[in-house]
Amino acid sequence: MPTYNPPLRDMQFVMHEVLNITEALKAMPRHAEVDADTINAILEEGGKFAAEVIFPLNINGDEEGCVLDRETHTVKTPKGFKEAYKQFVEGGWAALACDPSVGGQGLPYIVNQCVYEMLNSANQAWTMYPGLSHGAYEALMAHGTDEQKKTYLPKLVSGEWTGTMCLTEPHCGTDLGLLRTKAEPQPDGSYKLSGNKIFISAGEHDMADNIIHLVLARLPDAPKGSKGISLFAVPKFNVKADGSLGSRNPIYCGGLEHKMGIHGNATAQIVLDGAVGSLVGEPNKGLAAMFVMMNAARLGVGNQSLGLTEVAFQNALAYAKDRTQMRSLSGVKAKDKDADPIIVHPDVRKMLMTAKAYAEGGRAMAMFCTLLLEREHHHPDEKVRKDSGEIVALLTPIVKAFITDNGHTSTNACMQVFGGHGFIKEWGMEQFVRDNRINMIYEGTNTIQSLDLLGRKVLANNGATLRKFGKLVGKLVEEEGVNEKMSEFITPVAVLGEQLTKFTTEIGFKSFQNPDEMGAAAVDYLRVAGHFVFGYMFALMARVALREIAAGNADPFYVAKLQTARFYFAKLFPETATLMRTARAGAAPLMNTEAALA
């Protein structure tokens, strides 16, 4: 059976020693009084909930899955899920980073980020139920009417009700301009929606009293394509004027998807048969409103793979220390045993260190993004808000795609550490692999994220936002460039920064002449950019570790951090050279393949 220990020490390191989070928060009146002890205490309790309450439900939830009663259209979640959710709500966990005006606790985003990383490590399928609710909260806070906010937000914030995002239809996935769900205006100002949605995570369940579906649909006079999409709030149960639940709305689960992983989450086929809803935001502007939820979800999906990478690493490390196989190539290490533990073998260490580096780099990047979000929403300086928003928009597709791709690499590597036992269900490793696989697909496939990064976030403004991030890197290079001990961490990032500027210009010029060149280069480009960000994060972490060691701090944590950073720069970061070479090979080897793909 797998185990899980919340990585509180590393979280505290990134928050307090690398990002100096409490000092950063003092610049924002909303959080000026938040201190490190409060954050640490909350995360410690959150870790206990993750490890002791929902982690034990993970394997059973995978085996049981969700069950649909086709007559009543109700879904029963796996044993223990409902009770754990009740405990989650009673503990106030749903309200952590929500606005106090609607019942939230108003804590910094970084607290929510860390709690959800631990929840994802413990049980991704379960965590998706409250996770999606938070996205619905964000969308309604930004674009909901006063009436919608009054009706829905307090219940979503408390966790008494949950939320979903209903986008995909059977004939269209990412291309939402093709959707057919209709919304007919009613004399009372409401709308009646009809259509079919698929792949709706947490679309129906027994864990909360009501579900608020945010549904994309078309008005009768809507323009074709994505310019004719509107957003609607459609509750499972209609809500009376006094806030109590009324009649059952005809939005229901017509089927559950039979899928590779996340079996404990109800991935529903949703049927709307004249369901009553209310317009969110302006007519035909629904995609912009939904993007608030989608961007939150994309950051959340990166966090899902971060959680799985961490728990897979922990279990693979423990197994590698215990499992004996053969002798070390450099001589016997465990003289009291018939064979050495497999952790002595170089390639086993490579697999373990790959997962460790991707977990620690991903954690630092995710926390960095939450600090940017905090500044975007709450910093008193308008320029800081604007710059932070631009940079987090640049980094969002990288968080989603780079961390989930790395999660795929890491969970598979950790399963490989177990050998044949990794393929066996009882160890839990194959579930981490299966559960992670969807993270590369939903909320916009990783190729879509790559096109978004290169096309919208970089080339569309001629690299202006990329240069803003580059200035942060340049500042670190300027500060530490003459520090000989930092050279092994700073020089690779500085060199890649120069290469990335030239690389971006080349791809942009070729794409202007032939748009397929952008499509051919985008996935490679995102990974190069991902390593640029990770390199910056590891350089920041290495600086702190070197400083502590120089000051006489004997905590082995800092030595471990330097070893992880050295491994990352030696074994993973050099991938960028190959990626730039394959991207420069262009579109021709892909598109001139008529005979090969006939």
By three-state DSSP, how is residue 592 classified? coil
* Rounded distance between C-alpha atoms, residue 65 and residue 60, angstroms: 8
CA distance to 232, 235, 285, 474, per residue, from 282 (Å) = 10, 19, 5, 42
CA distance to 18, 182, 375, 385, per residue, from 368 (Å) = 10, 40, 11, 15
Residue 288's identity, in one-letter code, is A
Q: How many residues does the chain have?
A: 598
Structure tokens at 464: 């202006």
DSSP H stretches of helix in 50-145: 58-64, 81-90, 109-143
Phi, psi of 488, rounded to the nearest 5 degrees: -65, -15
Residue owning tokens 């690493």 = 313
Residue 13 makes CB contacts below 8 A (sequence gap 6+) with 541, 544, 557, 561
CA distance to 163, 252, 567, 574, per residue, from 570 (Å) = 44, 52, 5, 7
Residue 369 makes CB contacts below 8 A (sequence gap 6+) with 299, 392, 395, 396, 399
* Rounded distance between C-alpha atoms, residue 518 and residue 171, angstroms: 26
Asked if 207 and 81 count as a contact pair (C-beta separation under 8 A), the reply is yes
* Rounded distance between C-alpha atoms, residue 354 and residue 385, angstroms: 35
Closest to 99 (Cα-Cα) out of 54, 66, 142, 56: 142
Q: Hey, which residues does 162 pair with through a beta bridge?
A: 211
From 204, 390, 443, 480, active-site residue? 443
Asked if 4 and 311 count as a contact pair (C-beta separation under 8 A), the reply is yes
In the residue annotation, 443 being an active-site residue is answered as: yes
Phi, psi of 250, rounded to the nearest 5 degrees: -75, 60
Structure tokens at 548: 């502590």
For 170-201, b where at least 16 C-beta lie within 10 A, e where not — what string?
eeebeebeebebbbeeeeeebbbbbbbbbbbb
CA distance to 383, 477, 481, per residue, from 484 (Å) = 35, 12, 8
DSSP assignment string, 434-481 = HHHHGGGTSSS-HHHHHHIIIIIIIGGGTTHHHHHHHHHHHHHHHHHT
Angle at 274 between CA 269 and CA 275, to 5 degrees: 70
β 161-166/210-217 pair status: parallel
Report the catalytic residues.
443
